Amino acid sequence: MSDRNKETNSPPEQLTESRTAWSWMPSSVAGFFVTAGGLAQFTGRFFTNLFKPPFEWQETLNQLYQLGVRSLSLVGLSGFIIGLVLTLQARPTMVEFGAEFYIPAMVSFSIIREIGPVLTAMICAGKVGSGIGAELSSMKVTEQLDAMAVSGVNAFNYTVVTRVLATTLMVPILVFYADGIGLIGAWVGMNLEGDMTMRLFMQKVVAATDFPDIFSSLFKSVLFGFAIGIVGCYKGYNAQGGTAGVGLAANSAVVAASFLIFIMDLVAVQITHLIFY
């Protein structure tokens, strides 16, 4: 074995095959397709293990608390500020055209259908996705995952399935929570320069909200939650390079999850339009 092969700890035929398969492509493009293929395979493994015992219910509940409940304050504060700022920004223009009456409808449509889901998902990608990536990568480089396998624990079910389920379930809840807090912020914004009761404001919001708006928000939220969980787990579960790999896994989990959120948002909008319009 040559010195080059010794340094990479890979058999000669594996190195040759890898260079031959991707030599015609730029390294960044090749890395993208390798990551996409690995993520697809990882997702398939998740669905294979999802209904395979043992079911780690206790760990799933723990992750629901860790990933969901502990994000309430940040999500709520962000939602309130967005609702407040959106109203303050829109109010002068709406007043100029004599359309102040339609501000609650405009704000509710914007928050419930688009801003709430995307903003909450991006916050969760930064907070939850990076946390999952860092936690699993540290378990990987310190060989805790191998220790689980040796002790008879299904490491994939315990670490991956529980976390992906937790993000898939909690992100939609956080989205509706952020929507509600955002609408309260919008009502506060309305009353900074005007006078509208909470009851009248919410009546206008309810009158302007249809089932497609709720469905679109829920549908996108489920997709976003799944993407955040599966990407964070994939990056952490496949981390390499010791302690340096922990930071790299956390950072790449945020970047990849954010990219997927925007792509899924585009696809979800098209699907919603096909169904309801």
Whether residue 122 is predicted with pLDDT greater than 90 in this model: the reply is yes
Contact yes or no for 264/220 (Cβ under 8 A): yes
Say how far apart CA 86 and CA 80 lie, in whole Å. 10
Say how far apart CA 165 and CA 55 lie, in whole Å. 12
Whether residue 267 is predicted with pLDDT greater than 80 in this model: the reply is yes
> Per-residue pLDDT tens for 26-64?
456 777 788 888 899 999 999 999 988 888 899 999 999
- Report the chain's mean pLDDT, rounded to a whole number: 85
Q: What is the pTM of this model?
A: 0.85
Model confidence band, residue 132 (pLDDT cutoffs 50, 70, 90): very high
Which positions ≥6 away from 134 have C-beta within 8 Å?
A: 236, 246, 247, 249, 250
| pLDDT of 141 | 87
Query: For residue 111, what is the DSSP state?
Result: I
Nearest 5°: CA angle at 140, between 130 and 262?
30
Whether residue 89 is predicted with pLDDT greater than 60 in this model: the reply is yes
Of 103-112, 146-155, 168-177, the poorest mean pLDDT is in 146-155
Whether residue 256 is predicted with pLDDT greater than 80 in this model: the reply is yes
| pLDDT of 28 | 65
Instruction: Give percent above pLDDT 90 in the chain.
Output: 53
Amino acid at 199: R
Measured in degrees and rounded to the nearest 5, phi and psi for residue 78 equal -65, -40
Whether residue 5 is predicted with pLDDT greater than 60 in this model: the reply is no
Whether residue 193 is predicted with pLDDT greater than 70 in this model: the reply is yes
Most confident of 2-16, 172-186, 234-248: 172-186
Of 62-66, 195-199, 239-243, the poorest mean pLDDT is in 239-243
| pLDDT of 27 | 58
Model confidence band, residue 12 (pLDDT cutoffs 50, 70, 90): very low
Contact yes or no for 183/108 (Cβ under 8 A): yes
Peptide bond just before 54 cis, omega within 30 deg: yes
Average pLDDT of the residues in 220-241: 92
Per-residue tokens: 275: 């169904």
Per-residue tokens: 178: 């952020």
| pLDDT of 13 | 42
Whether residue 25 is predicted with pLDDT greater than 70 in this model: the reply is no
